[in-house]
Structure 1
Amino acid sequence: MNIFSNNIRGIGGEVKREWIKNSRIQHHSVFVGLQETKSYEVKGGLDKFIWGPGNFQSEVVDPMGLFGGIVSLWDPSIFCAVESIKGVGFLCIKGVWLKSKKTVCFVNVYAPQDLNEKKLLWNKLFDLINSDSNVCWTVFGDFNAVRFPEERLGSIFCPQGAYYFNKFIFLDGLLEIKMGGRRFTYMNSKEDKHSKLDRYLVSPNVLDSWPHLNVTTLPRVHSDHCAIIISSNQLDFGPYPFRFFNSWLKDQNLEMIIVNGWSLGLNFGLNKIVSPLSVVVHKLKNLKEHIKAWRKEVIEANKKEPDELTNTINAIDLLAESGPMHEDLLKNRQYTYQKILEVESSRMEDLRQKS
């Protein structure tokens, strides 16, 4: 099992969709649940850009005006969906996990902020989960609620809200999979309020099929919520092949690389007569090798830059969890995020040319 979940705060941005797709591929997620899509154009439209290459299926709960919206996407070769159940604040996909032949339900949740509306949602989910105790239930997403006082920082803990949320979890017999990586999943724009609003809850029989589940948070980059992944395995992927892209023409070093590569001396021997065409062929070969060597260096640097920028943002966010955020750090985070957008925009230009 490997599920990617994120309150994405609007799915319209191309950079954001590309990040989701790459995160899914990198972590080999076979089920993706997004909350707060704020779009009516996901199913049959934007969903293919979210998922990326390969066969997939999707289902949505449309937003109400400019607010809300839920989408779930999955690999039908791994999970065969047979039914979708929709309600205010949730999207349930019921089907068969083909490898184990187990009936499973993935419930993607985007809970309202109002306490009374949350209570109605907990009651609906309670009835849904208790309708079939043989199903392996995985309930995940943005619950807009915390369970304990230590799951908030810089904001007021609501004992009543926590009571009803914990009651729902307890009466349904759900278990929360421990989250690694950080204490909180939500941080406001000023970085002075933190909450653990996103999580994974499972029925006990899920652990019979997947006994080594773990939940990991990804750095918060394109939303005010961290993406969270529940997984039982991880895969690594190899390097990308060499290819010439138009975006290289924007690199100020390219002109010098071409001049140097073209100017390299050719050794044909002292008395050998060489045709002008042979000279051009050998110069082109030298130029190609020169560009390949340059691109190898650039590719290695480009691989490190997004990780370094993301690590900078993650370090600032973790520092903010321990106390008030200094204005200089906040500006540094905003600057770093703009650099990430520039790097991602350049990479997406390459992808458009490749397609």
Structure 2
Amino acid sequence: MCGDSTVSWDSVPSVQAAGGLLYMWNNSAFHVERRVKGRNFLMLDGRWVIQNQRLYIVNVYAPCDLAGKIVLWEELRQLEVSNPNGLWCFLGDFNSMRSQEERIGSSQRMADTSDISNFNEWISDMELQEIKGFGGRFTWFRPNAYPSKGLLRPLSSSLENKDGGLGSQAFSGCGLAAQSKGYQRMVREAWINDQQGGWGGIALKNKLRNLKYTIKQWSTVNGDVNASKIQNLRQKLNDLETIAGDRMLSEDEVKAKKSIQQDLWDASNAYESLLRQKSRAKWIKERDSNSAFFHKVINFRRNFNAFQGIFIDGVWV
């Protein structure tokens, strides 16, 4: 699935459009000995290789209704009782809040106090600790840009959070440029406006050469996508989400947030497309978006083709 033979995976299918869980792990770091599946959870029972420690990791996707959550909390409680030896880590979408402060919405609708009480009681009974994360206060935002519940959270029995809490080279840029706005119109107009006379084969060759030049010129202005640009967009989005955690966003700020989200999505897709082209790996046709892999391939090719030095008379020069 990710192009790495050391990675394994397992899943729980969704029910229509709801639920669904996917687990992926590195066998060299975590050796899985047993898997337990439920309708709303997937547990891996294995050993953390570095510390030779028994570890149970449970991926959770809780139902939305209170009755379904109560059943799930009891299932997980019995699961832990039947496996007393080892460390536990629960993470995923619990669809529950621990306090009213975990939601800021346009309606300011109060959460079900019974849901909050049952969730906190389950955490206490399981003797779990919530691992604090970095960044924004909220883990989910509605499409209208209003922040909502702290749905996604990691809960651990005794794990420590040590950190505190994405020929054939003639048009090599087309995959990136084609995702940009106005690309198809530009290509169509350039092709139609370039009228060539003479023999058909020569005319086609000249039109392709001219089109390549036009695409390069257009990409210089419209297709400049790099990691710095993506980071700047992320920072702008994080700034707005931080503001949204303290107060309601104004109408202009909501529009700006939606625009930045779209720009970030387009830029990220375009950047990953560029990395795929530079990697020149055959299996990228499977549409994998493992950016770390592509970076490694690019760096490997750069180091392989570079002269590190010249060895003369036993001395590196």
- Please state which band the TM-score falls in when normalised by the shorter chain: 0.5 to 0.7
Pairing partner for 1:303 from 210, 222, 227: 227
Q: Aligned in 2, Cα 1:213/1:82: closer, same or farther, shift over 3 Å?
A: farther
SS at match of 1:246: coil
Q: Distance in 1 between matches of 2:255 and 2:153?
A: 29
SS at match of 1:64: coil
Alignment of 1:173-252 (within 5 A): 173-204=127-158, 206-207=159-160, 212=162, 214-215=164-165, 246-247=172-173
Q: Report the number of matched residues.
A: 231
Q: Which has the larger radius of gyration?
A: 2
What pairs up with 1:325-344 in 2 under 5 angstroms? Answer: 325-344=249-268
Match of 1:44 in 2: none
Question: So what's the TM-score if we normalise by structure 1?
Answer: 0.59
> Any conservation in 1 of the 2:12–2:20 contact (CA below 8 Å)?
yes
Structure 2's unaligned 5+ residue stretches are: 179-219, 282-317
Q: How many angstroms apart in 1 are the aligned matches of 2:245 and 2:170?
A: 43
* Structure with greater strand share of residues: 1
State how 1:96-111 maps to structure 2 within 5 Å.
96-111=47-62
Q: Matched residues in 1 for 2:172 and 2:63: separation?
A: 45
Instruction: For 2:254, give the aligned amino acid.
Output: L
Q: Work out whether residues 90 and 156 of structure 2, in 8 Å CA contact, stay in contact via their aligned partners in 1.
A: yes
The 2-side partners of 1:158 and 1:170 are apart by 19
Structure 1 residue 189, shift from structure 2 partner? 1.4
Distance (whole Å) between structure 1 residues aligned to residue 11 and residue 67 of structure 2: 24
Task: Determine the structure 1 residue equivalent to 2:113.
Answer: 159
Q: Could you state the TM-score of these two structures normalised by the residue count of structure 2?
A: 0.66
Deviation at 1:80, TM superposition (A): 0.5
- Letter of the structure 2 residue corresponding to residue 319 of structure 1: I
Q: Determine the C-alpha separation between the residues in 2 that align with 1:245 and 1:348.
A: 17
**One-letter identity of the residue aligned with 1:178:** K
Following TM superposition, by how much is the alpha carbon of 1:121 offset from its aligned partner in structure 2, in angstroms? 0.5
Match of 2:126 in 1: 172
1:324 is the counterpart of 2:248 = yes
Match status 1:114 vs 2:114: no
Q: Which amino acid aligns with 2:248?
A: P
With a CA cutoff of 8 Å and minimum separation of 6, indicate the structure with the bigger relative contact order.
1
Instruction: Give the gaps of 5 or more residues in structure 1.
Output: 1-47, 216-221, 223-242, 252-294
CA 1:213 to 1:133, structure 2 compared with 1: closer, same or farther past 3 Å?
A: farther
Compute the displacement of 1:327 (Å): 2.3
Q: Against the structure 1 CA distance between its residues 350 and 147, is the aligned structure 2 distance closer, same or farther, given a 3 Å change threshold? A: same
- For 1:119 and 1:107, how far apart are their aligned partners in 2? 17
Q: 1:244 to 1:160 in 2, by over 3 A?
A: farther
In 2 relative to 1, CA 325–78 (structure 1 residues): closer, same or farther, beyond 3 Å?
same
**Distance in structure 2 (CA, Å) of the matches to 1:115 and 1:169:** 16
2:32 match: 81
Contact 1:130 1:172 (C-alpha < 8 Å) held by counterparts? no
What RMSD over aligned residues (CA atoms) do the two structures have, in Å?
2.8
Shift of 1:186: 1.6
Q: How does 1:227-306 map to 2 (within 5 A)?
A: 246-247=172-173, 302-306=226-230
The alignment-based identity, stated in percent, is 29
